[in-house]
């Protein structure tokens, strides 16, 4: 239980925001989540939770751990293959073996099911929907938030921006600067596993490494293995629309990977429809906390999906943030607690942001322990980090 009950606002009820809300509420803080959507929608598709992310989630409560396991799939292995020959270049055993080694398995889950598990565990009357944050201000009296509908919320001891890649809170702290289109687009499709049953290792997480680093197909089970998720990326010169609901063309998808191995092509042949999104990223921030305001998840370190760590880093952030705020003796300690949180998270998230951009992770073997073995609940709290001079 926390030493002092803080009044904490969280901007954005996505994966990271709701993980933080649960962690902070669980320690007895007064938490309010401000979410721009009118309600939670079943948008998106996959979230890949490697053992480090599952261990962080499990500590949020038995209800969340059980709900996640009720809908997730448990990939048997993590396999790398070469796009044309199909040659296997690395294989890690996941499932029970990962659970023994890291204390948690890898789980793959529909984003909406993960969101529902987190939302159901948090008091519904502490989430304010249709509240799009437009401005924030810090005074001696605390942090104030203004919303696009003209309303406001005052007197917060801390405000956490978990408002995703286009974070308004980040812009308020460090100035507006748009994320960069990476020149890579991604196709996402879900097919019944029955249709692709003959593809070898269909219960595994398999990455087919393409002829260039922009080009790959990743596949893994979803919905307890009833469905198979397919994620494919390719280079594209420009992109004009950013959305998680844009339909892509199945014919275009198949065309891009026509020279891939027949087993990879069989996955694409099974698709009826596909979503298409662009991949955006930013460089690591030198700092992400100022006074009583800090950032979390994609708001602070949006990354390419190639290490499958976007959601995992947001959930780890949430746990480490809550542990640091719990250590505050009074509201006056919040700025220092946020500096300590940032100090504990910056090196790891920056390393994974840069590693994801490089897109070489586990291509030809390698040790996954530094990513999968991290325990957000046990990593020692930082000694006093220096406050940022803004």
Ligand X SMILES: Cc1cc2nc3c(=O)[nH]c(=O)nc-3n(C[C@H](O)[C@H](O)[C@H](O)COP(=O)(O)OP(=O)(O)OC[C@H]3O[C@@H](n4cnc5c(N)ncnc54)[C@H](O)[C@@H]3O)c2cc1C
The residues of the shown chain that bind ligand X, judged by CB under 6 A, are 11-17, 34-37, 43-47, 111, 132-133, 162-164, 168, 244, 297-299, 305, 310-311, 314
The smaller minimum CB distance to ligand X, of residues 109 and 263, is found at 109
The smaller minimum CB distance to ligand X, of residues 34 and 288, is found at 34
The smaller minimum CB distance to ligand X, of residues 10 and 263, is found at 10
| Closest approach of ligand X to the CB of residue 281, in Å | 11
Cα-based distances in Å from 142 to 139, 158, 219, 359 = 5, 8, 47, 42
| Closest approach of ligand X to the CB of residue 343, in Å | 20
Q: Report the C-alpha gap between 210 and 120 in whole angstroms.
A: 40
Q: Report the C-alpha gap between 14 and 1 in whole angstroms.
A: 25
Q: What are the phi and psi torsion angles at 134 (to 5°)?
A: -115, -35
Taking each helix axis as running N to C, give the angle between helix 310-326 and helix 15-26, from 0 to 180 degrees, rounded to the nearest 10.
30
The smaller minimum CB distance to ligand X, of residues 26 and 333, is found at 26
Q: Report the C-alpha gap between 340 and 123 in whole angstroms.
A: 28
The smaller minimum CB distance to ligand X, of residues 172 and 334, is found at 172
Tokens describing residue 231: 């994620």
- Asked if residue 230 lies in contact with residue 217, where contact means CB atoms within 8 angstroms, the answer is yes
- Asked if residue 313 lies in contact with residue 50, where contact means CB atoms within 8 angstroms, the answer is no
* CA terminus-to-terminus distance, the chain: 32
Positive or negative: CA dihedral 371, 295, 325, 148: negative
Map residue 18 onto helix, strand or coil. helix
- Asked if residue 265 lies in contact with residue 254, where contact means CB atoms within 8 angstroms, the answer is yes
Q: Report the C-alpha gap between 75 and 95 in whole angstroms.
A: 6
Taking each helix axis as running N to C, give the angle between helix 334-358 and helix 310-326, from 0 to 180 degrees, rounded to the nearest 10.
160
| Closest approach of ligand X to the CB of residue 316, in Å | 11
| Closest approach of ligand X to the CB of residue 131, in Å | 6
The smaller minimum CB distance to ligand X, of residues 298 and 333, is found at 298
The smaller minimum CB distance to ligand X, of residues 162 and 215, is found at 162
The smaller minimum CB distance to ligand X, of residues 172 and 344, is found at 172
| Closest approach of ligand X to the CB of residue 288, in Å | 12
Nearest residue (beta carbon) to ligand X: 14
| Closest approach of ligand X to the CB of residue 346, in Å | 16
The smaller minimum CB distance to ligand X, of residues 244 and 370, is found at 244
Map residue 197 onto helix, strand or coil. coil
| Closest approach of ligand X to the CB of residue 133, in Å | 4
| Closest approach of ligand X to the CB of residue 100, in Å | 27
Q: What are the phi and psi torsion angles at 167 (to 5°)?
A: -45, 125
Closest CA to 372 of 36, 143, 43, 49: 49
| Closest approach of ligand X to the CB of residue 291, in Å | 19
């Amino acid at each position: 239980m926390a030493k002092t009950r803080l009044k904490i606002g969280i901007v954005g009820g996505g994966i990271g925001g709701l993980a933080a809300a649960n962690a902070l509420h669980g320690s007895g803080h007064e938490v309010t989540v401000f979410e721009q959507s009118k309600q939670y929608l079943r948008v998106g598709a996959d979230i890949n939770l490697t053992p480090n992310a599952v261990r962080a989630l499990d500590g949020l409560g038995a209800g969340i751990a059980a709900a996640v396991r009720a809908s997730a799939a448990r990939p048997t292995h993590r396999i790398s293959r070469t796009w044309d020959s199909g040659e296997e270049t690395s294989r890690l055993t996941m499932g029970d073996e990962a659970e023994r080694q890291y204390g948690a398995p890898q789980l793959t889950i529909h984003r909406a099911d993960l969101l529902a598990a987190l939302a159901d565990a948090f008091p519904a009357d502490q989430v304010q929907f249709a509240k799009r944050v437009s401005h924030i201000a810090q005074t001696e009296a605390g942090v104030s938030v203004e919303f696009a509908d003209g309303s406001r919320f005052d007197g917060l001891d801390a405000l956490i921006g978990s408002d995703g890649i286009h974070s308004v809170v980040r812009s308020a702290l460090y100035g507006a600067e748009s994320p960069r289109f990476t020149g890579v687009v991604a196709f996402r499709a879900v097919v019944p596993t029955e249709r692709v049953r003959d593809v070898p290792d269909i219960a595994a997480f398999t990455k087919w490494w393409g002829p260039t680093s922009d080009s790959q197909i990743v596949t893994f089970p979803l919905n307890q293995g009833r469905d198979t998720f397919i994620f494919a990326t390719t280079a594209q010169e420009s992109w004009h629309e950013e959305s998680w609901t844009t339909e892509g063309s199945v014919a275009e998808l198949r065309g891009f990977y026509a020279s891939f191995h027949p087993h990879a092509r069989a996955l694409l042949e099974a698709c009826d429809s596909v979503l298409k999104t662009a991949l955006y990223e930013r460089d690591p921030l030198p700092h992400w906390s100022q006074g009583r305001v800090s950032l979390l998840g994609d708001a602070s370190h949006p990354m390419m999906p190639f290490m499958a760590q976007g959601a995992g880093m947001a959930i780890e952030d949430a746990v480490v943030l809550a542990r640091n705020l719990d250590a505050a003796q009074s509201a006056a300690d919040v700025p220092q607690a946020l500096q300590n949180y940032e100090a504990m998270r910056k090196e790891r998230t920056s390393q994974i942001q840069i590693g994801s951009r490089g897109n070489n992770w586990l291509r030809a073997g390698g040790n996954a322990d530094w990513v999968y073995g991290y325990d957000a609940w046990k990593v020692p709290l930082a000694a006093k980090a220096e406050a940022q001079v803004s």
